[in-house]
A and B are shown apart, each in its own frame.
Chain A
């Protein structure tokens, strides 16, 4: 269990904007994801916890141990923190074999059990066959497993992972997710994982903390965050939604409906409790919740005309991008989901399903 309150200020330089990290969070067992775009302060947060960077103020607690306390002047050296750090480039020592890498990390374990422990780790992470190799002779997946094993072997009480999925192709990613799930089950070590990948976050996170400009803007289970982003910034960060600025024209709690004005068009949505007529809000809806058809006469109910800019092929269907930043994703078998026939058609209508419309 990590409890952290971290403040760190970087003054603006001649050619760099200043940055301030001001964060308070706690991470219990399981995987906690620090989610945000690059420059949001995710890695800096890990570095503060690991002790590579000294915060200006705050307090970092790991289980019952104080790692850092600004007021009391406590700042433990990295080597006394027992935080396993999995570096972005793995940072396996290139002059040591894989076994030696693990032995280096095991040296703080009691001498008697070291050898057995190293063997056990090699076995658990399927590295026994390549234990005598140097890092440059290993595949990306092997390097990653080794760096996790190395971080765990010194009895780490938390695992800090800095963008671990970066640079791995799809099968390796899947393999890596499986490794993390096994670590969670077998070792029970809490993990704090940094990523800007929505998919990774959804796959791995028990809890997620959304960071923006050094601040936590939302936290909760991924499902909750994805279903109801706290504000339009979070929604933008998640990058999963169409976001349209709309004005509420009418609200009818009795029929559970509302009318929203988007540019010159009117859409019908569900009733939005707590909102007033005339409120300017953001409508957000996932691309796969929309449907599209070539335009044929006047737009019908809840349809908005759009000019097709691009049609992109996806593994499971097509993505249609329209003017006004509206994207629609249709599954492979859907009507009009044919690149050949319809990519030349410019005028379309996009249909918004009333009950899936949500606002921020």
Chain B
């Protein structure tokens, strides 16, 4: 085998960084949205739920197009961002965070809403009855009760963020050393005939994803059931 160029680990680190930040942001936004969807009744609630889920089913190009229009340098949001941070958002690694946010948030909202709705109402009633404010009820009762489901959903969202390709390509581009994430680097390597690099990255990403999903499964099982006795 001819010696290829030296292995570039940047895409891997970038992907991990993007996935971590986007999962954290998705947790904040997703939990809030899921809480509202699970606890409030308002007109258009199911439309909101569908809209949040939409990115899961839309083609990446469609989503990427929307985001380019919405966040591009000519858009109001793009202007504000440029004014605040001194540079455009599109075609930076931060844009990659936004791209994966649109896939990790729906996953989190879906699972968290289901988790919130699965909490026995009497716990929430009991907490309110005992004088708890809504905030305290959320942090002290509801969230601890569903924390395993939420953690599992976050792991899933993280894994999904690692693998985003289409949307990232469209709004963050493919700038080696700046916005090139793992999935794009793999594409690049295959296109450039650099199979050794592609193979290593593919194996690493598969292993990481498998590990995360296994972890997610282990987290969800056995919430407050009887403690297992170890003899």
Do A and B belong to a common assembly?
yes
B128 touches A79 (CB 8 A): yes
Instruction: List A27-84 residues whose CB lies under 8 Å from chain B.
Output: 50-52, 77-81, 83-84
- Residue picked from B122, B145, B226, most chain A C-beta under 10 Å: B122
| Complex Cα gap A151–B126 (Å) | 9
Task: Convert A93-116 into 0s and 1s, putting 1 for each residue whose CB lies closer than 8 angstroms to a CB of B.
Answer: 111000000001101100000000
Q: 0/1 per residue, A105-132, Cβ < 8 Å to B?
A: 1011000000000000000000000000
Known A136-B225, A136-B226; contact A93-B129, beta-carbon cutoff 8 A: no
Q: Which of B6-14, B85-93, B130-138 contacts A (4 or more CB under 8 A)?
A: B130-138
Report A288-300 CB contacts with B as 1/0, cut-off 8 Å. Answer: 0000000000000
- Check B224 against A134 for contact (C-beta < 8 Å): yes
Bound-state Cα–Cα, A79 to B128, Å: 5
Say yes or no: is A87 at the interface (Cβ < 8 Å to chain B).
yes
A89 at the interface (CB under 8 A from B): yes
With a CB–CB cut-off of 8 A, which chain A residues contact B132? 79, 104, 107
The answer to whether A352 has its CB under 8 Å from any CB of chain B is no
Which residues in A have their C-beta under 8 angstroms from that of B144? 95
Shortest Cβ distance from residue B136 to the other chain A in the assembled complex, whole angstroms: 8
- Chain B residues touching A, majority SS: helix
Whether A136 and B224, one on each chain, are in contact in the complex, defined by CB atoms closer than 8 angstroms, is yes
Interface residues contributed by chain A, number (CB under 8 Å): 29
A78 lies within 8 A of B129 (CB):
yes
Residues of A contacting B130 in the complex (Cβ-Cβ under 8 angstroms) = 79, 104-105, 108, 150-151, 154
* Chain B residue contacts of A151, Cβ below 8 A: 129-130
Interchain CB contact (< 8 A) of B141 among A78, A81, A93, A136: A93
Restricting to B140-163, which residues have a CB under 8 Å from any CB of A?
140-141, 144-145
Please give the distance in Å from B124's CB to the nearest CB on chain A.
Answer: 9
Q: A108-B131, A150-B130, A154-B131 are in contact. Are A91 and B123 (CB under 8 A)?
A: yes
Contact A78 B125 (CB under 8 A): yes
- Binary flags per residue of B201-231, CB closer than 8 Å to A gives 1, else 0: 0000000000000000000000011110000
Are A87 and B224 in contact, CB atoms less than 8 angstroms apart?
no
B120 at the interface (CB under 8 A from A): yes
Contact at A91–B126, with CB atoms within 8 Å? yes
Task: List B26-55 residues whose CB lies under 8 Å from chain A.
Answer: none
Distance (whole angstroms) from the CB of B224 to the closest CB of chain A:
4
Check if A105 sits within 8 Å of B123, measured CB to CB: no
Give per-residue flags for A133-156: 1 if the beta carbon is below 8 A from chain B beta carbons, else 0.
010110000000000001100100
Q: Which residues of B contact A77 (CB under 8 A)?
A: 128
Do B131 and A105 touch (CB < 8 A)? yes
**Nearest residue in B to A52 (C-beta to C-beta)?**
B125
When distances are taken between beta carbons in the complex, the residues of chain B under 8 Å from A94 are 123, 145, 224
Listed A/B pairs (23) with beta-carbon separation below 8 Å? A50-B125, A77-B128, A78-B129, A79-B129, A79-B130, A79-B131, A80-B131, A81-B129, A83-B129, A85-B126, A85-B129, A87-B122, A91-B125, A92-B126, A93-B127, A94-B123, A95-B144, A104-B127, A105-B130, A136-B224, A136-B226, A137-B227, A154-B131
